């Protein structure tokens, strides 16, 4: 199998060091400047896929569902492409000899705009517009964004978040439904009030990673998406216990919702959100013509031209 061959090559690399790997999700900031940290995740996730191709039941505990052979084969092929792309983008790691692989790593603004229209006019686009497989690309690229939504929704349910009242510096108050996810996660890391099958330190790393696509539209490597969903699977284990409509309580024994609310509101993150906070004094922008958009288009069968 091609995927196994690449994994064997990575394992022979002097940059691959498995001794200190404990299976945790990587720090998103650290992995950007130390690409060699990808290697343990690549090997871990690839070996799970390789084993599951022989026996799909082995993958159930990791993702909570029995995958089909078609999906596993597709993931294996995508995995190979991402390994080759990663090796090309990080030549200093010297993972694959004589490797040159160019692949899409971002969705252009025009593509995203047309994809948004296609959701409103599905019949028009399906029958007439050749999207050049960009719909499937978007589906894969947007996994981190969906992960972000899932985490925020789960956290709201874990603490019972309804709304917040925000006091402004001019003395005014406003009610908001916006969920302060990172503040909540940081509070839960330092407290002992909520029972979670996934450590909140791990959840914070996954959440920070998941926010990237919204801001950049750039692709995340497949193994990080697989690592994220397999780590999160345990967090959603109580959501499908065979009964519908039952509330799920994550409060620890003898902890009340009133206590949780009181301790949250009295914590510095919420009672004094500006205290000891590093603020931006100035922002210097770096602009480049290389970042300008390029013209593009999709074929409209009805008029025999691009739109």
Please give the Cα distance from 172 to 40 (Å, whole number). 51
Please give the Cα distance from 285 to 304 (Å, whole number). 42
Q: What pLDDT score was predicted for residue 276?
A: 67
Q: Which two tokens stand for residue 153?
A: 């929704």
pTM over 0.75: yes
Pick from 95, 74, 75: nearest CA to 5? 95
Q: What pLDDT score was predicted for residue 241?
A: 67
Tell me the HSE value of 240 on the side-chain side, using a 13 A CA sphere.
Answer: 7
Phi, psi of 36 (to 5 degrees): -65, -20
Q: Which long-range contacts (CB under 8 A, 24 or more apart) does 273-276 make?
A: 273/183
Please give the Cα distance from 86 to 24 (Å, whole number). 20
Per-residue pLDDT 10s for the chain (307 aa) are: 799 999 999 999 999 988 889 999 999 999 999 999 999 999 999 999 999 999 999 999 999 999 999 999 999 999 999 999 999 999 999 888 877 777 888 888 889 999 999 999 999 999 999 988 898 999 999 999 999 999 999 999 999 999 998 888 788 888 999 999 999 999 999 999 999 999 999 999 999 999 988 888 889 999 999 999 999 999 998 787 666 788 889 999 999 999 999 999 999 888 888 776 777 778 888 898 988 888 888 888 887 778 7
**Please, where are the H alpha helices in the chain?**
2-12, 28-33, 38-54, 60-63, 69-89, 109-120, 122-128, 134-141, 143-159, 181-190, 200-210, 212-216, 222-232, 257-266, 268-271
């Amino acid at each position: 199998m091609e995927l196994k061959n690449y994994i064997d090559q990575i394992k022979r690399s002097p940059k691959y060091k498995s001794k200190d790997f404990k299976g945790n999700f990587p720090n998103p900031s650290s992995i950007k400047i130390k690409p060699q940290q990808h290697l343990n995740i690549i090997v871990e996730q690839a070996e799970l896929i390789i084993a599951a191709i022989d026996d799909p039941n082995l993958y159930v505990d990791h993702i909570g569902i029995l995958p089909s052979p078609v999906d596993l084969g597709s993931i294996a092929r995508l995995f190979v492409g991402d390994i080759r792309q990663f090796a090309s983008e990080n030549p200093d790691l010297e993972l694959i000899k004589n490797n040159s692989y160019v692949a899409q790593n971002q969705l252009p603004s025009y593509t995203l705009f047309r994809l948004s229209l296609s959701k409103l006019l599905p019949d028009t686009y399906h029958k007439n517009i050749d999207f050049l497989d960009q719909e499937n690309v978007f589906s894969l690229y947007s996994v981190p964004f969906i992960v972000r939504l899932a985490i925020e929704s789960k956290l709201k349910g874990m603490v019972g978040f309804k709304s917040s009242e925000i006091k402004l510096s001019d003395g005014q108050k406003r009610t908001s439904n916006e969920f302060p996810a990172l503040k909540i996660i940081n509070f839960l890391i330092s407290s002992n009030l909520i029972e979670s099958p996934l450590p909140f330190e791990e959840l914070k790393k996954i959440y920070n990673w998941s926010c990237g696509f919204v801001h950049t539209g750039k692709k995340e490597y497949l193994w990080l998406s697989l690592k994220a969903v397999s780590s999160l699977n345990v967090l959603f284990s109580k959501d499908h216990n065979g009964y519908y409509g039952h509330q799920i309580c994550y409060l620890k024994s003898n902890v009340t919702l009133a206590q949780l609310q009181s301790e949250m509101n009295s914590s510095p993150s919420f009672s004094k959100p500006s205290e000891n906070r590093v603020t931006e004094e100035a922002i210097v922008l770096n602009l480049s013509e290389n970042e300008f958009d390029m013209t593009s288009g999709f074929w409209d069968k009805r008029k025999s031209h691009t739109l």
